[in-house]
Chains A and B, each alone.
Chain A
Amino acid sequence: MILQFIISMIATLSFAVLFNAPTKQLFFCGLTGAFGWIVYLVCLNYGMSVAPACLIATFVLTIMSRVLSAVRKNPVTMFLIPGIFPLVPGAGIYYTAYYLIMGEMSEFSAKGVETFLIAGAIALGIVFGFSIPQAVFNTLKKEDHTH
């Protein structure tokens, strides 16, 4: 689990570099991604299926991005975009294409539906995460903010 945490942190951090995040924020981008991934793994361990696990993980990492955004005084996007990558269904896209080519139609439709469900779960996770009022996060800011 610790290894998974470190690797997901490195992977997220690398992608943050590709999106030209400032060096000072890289560590926190990585942290967001790693937390999202660990929450996802824990949910799977408790026997959840993939989509609800993604929903909860996305929810947690959206809130974490917003907290970091308030504390580190940076746009939420900074932490949310790199952080979400471990959960994005890249594997789903691959397997969907693979089973289509192989002509295994039942596997193909199962994977296709799963990919869409994951994307939908990520959407809901972000929506729930953003539905918490900004005022809650503003209390985290230090007192020298201007507007």
Chain B
Amino acid sequence: MAVTKEILTLAVEIADALLRNGSEIYRVEDTVMHILDAYEIEDYDVYVLSNGIFASANENKEDACSMIRHVPLGKTHLGRIAALNQLSREICSHDCSLVDSWVRLDECKNIPEEKTGVQVFFCGLGSAGFCYLFGGQPLDAFLAFLIGLLLQLFLIAAKKRSSSNFIVNIFGSGIVTILSLLALSAGLPILQDKVVIGAIMPLVPGIALTTSIRDFFNGDYLSGTIHIIDALLTSFSIAVGVGAIITIYQLLTGGVLLP
């Protein structure tokens, strides 16, 4: 029987990786509890927030131990969540020994992100698709595709410099709006609003909204609040970026109304 500390460390490390890659709170807590249960540790407490993990085990015994992790809000990586979920299942059914688990955990953490080129292409494709769905014409969708490509390049560059999320969203939506207005000014027969709506979709806080609702549903009100505020602030940032550029455009063109 392995010692409490080793098991708790493993459980918390897996929880850390899950949370970092955008899992909802309930799944993270559940994973830790299942692993501890599987190794017959009965006296434990786990408390998980959107950006922190607190766990203790066997507080009243000789080998008492507790752990705290700070986990910054990260980018969602669905592949890693799925792999970690599978790993925790195997640990719980004892199909995977403790030693193997550490190796597997490292593998899960290091599942690579999609290559830059792939990300850029699919960002463009997604933007074009949404532009068309929201009422754009094929020409608008094509333009949204090009703008989507540039937006993702900007997002990747911004991520390397680890700028604040507000700045990234304001500038991201600003760039989208500038490009669409440039195309409009160049005389292309486009529906400028549809192009912008399609191309800002990669910025729109769909994940934060969904995660927040699920946290609320599971009774994790504090984490739900953190995510809903994230979603609101992201929306405001996008609005500010779009609004600022349209204001400038109006000043430059002397108050011509957009179609």
Do residues A94 and B126 form an inter-chain contact, with CB atoms below 8 A?
no
CB of A23, distance to nearest CB on chain B (Å)? 9
Do residues A94 and B197 form an inter-chain contact, with CB atoms below 8 A?
yes
CB of B37, distance to nearest CB on chain A (Å)? 10
* Interface residue from A7, A97, A127 paired with B213 (Cβ < 8 Å): A127
At the interface, yes or no: A88 with Cβ under 8 Å from chain B? Answer: yes
Residues of A15-45 at the interface with B, using a CB-CB cut-off of 8 Å, are: 15-22, 25, 37
Q: Which of B9-17, B52-60, B79-87 contacts A (4 or more CB under 8 A)?
A: B79-87
Do residues B132 and A7 form an inter-chain contact, with CB atoms below 8 A?
yes
CB of A59, distance to nearest CB on chain B (Å)? 13
Q: Is the interface on chain B under 10, 10 to 19, 20 to 34, or 35 or more residues? A: 35 or more
Do residues B235 and A93 form an inter-chain contact, with CB atoms below 8 A?
yes
CB of A125, distance to nearest CB on chain B (Å)? 9
* Interface residue from B23, B114, B204, B210 paired with A75 (Cβ < 8 Å): B23
At the interface, yes or no: A48 with Cβ under 8 Å from chain B? Answer: no
Do residues A18 and B79 form an inter-chain contact, with CB atoms below 8 A?
no
Q: Which residues of A contact B122 (CB under 8 A)?
A: 14-15, 17-18
Give the complex CA separation of A82 and B239 in angstroms: 22
At the interface, yes or no: B142 with Cβ under 8 Å from chain A? Answer: no
Residue in A8, A37, A123 whose Cβ sees the most chain B Cβ within 10 Å: A123
* Interface residue from A7, A17, A19 paired with B118 (Cβ < 8 Å): A17
Give the complex CA separation of A117 and B23 in angstroms: 26
Do residues A81 and B85 form an inter-chain contact, with CB atoms below 8 A?
no
Residues of B209-243 at the interface with A, using a CB-CB cut-off of 8 Å, are: 209-210, 213-214, 216-217, 235, 238-240, 242-243
Residue of B nearest to A86 (CB): B133
CB of B7, distance to nearest CB on chain A (Å)? 17
CB of A120, distance to nearest CB on chain B (Å)? 10
CB of A126, distance to nearest CB on chain B (Å)? 5
Give the complex CA separation of A4 and B214 in angstroms: 28
Do residues A11 and B133 form an inter-chain contact, with CB atoms below 8 A?
yes
Counting from the closest, the 3 A-B pairs by CB-CB distance are A11-B129, A14-B126, A97-B239
Question: A-side interface residues toward B, CB under 8 Å?
Answer: 4, 7-8, 10-12, 14-22, 25, 37, 73-75, 77-78, 80-82, 84-86, 88-91, 93-98, 100-102, 119, 122-123, 126-127, 130, 146-147
Q: List 7 A-B contacts (CB under 8 A).
A: A10-B126, A19-B78, A22-B82, A77-B27, A93-B204, A98-B242, A127-B213
For the A-B complex with A93-B235, A98-B246, A126-B217 known, give 15 more contacts whose Cβ atoms are closer than 8 Å.
Answer: A10-B129, A18-B123, A19-B77, A20-B78, A22-B78, A78-B78, A78-B81, A88-B204, A91-B134, A94-B239, A94-B242, A97-B239, A123-B216, A126-B213, A126-B214
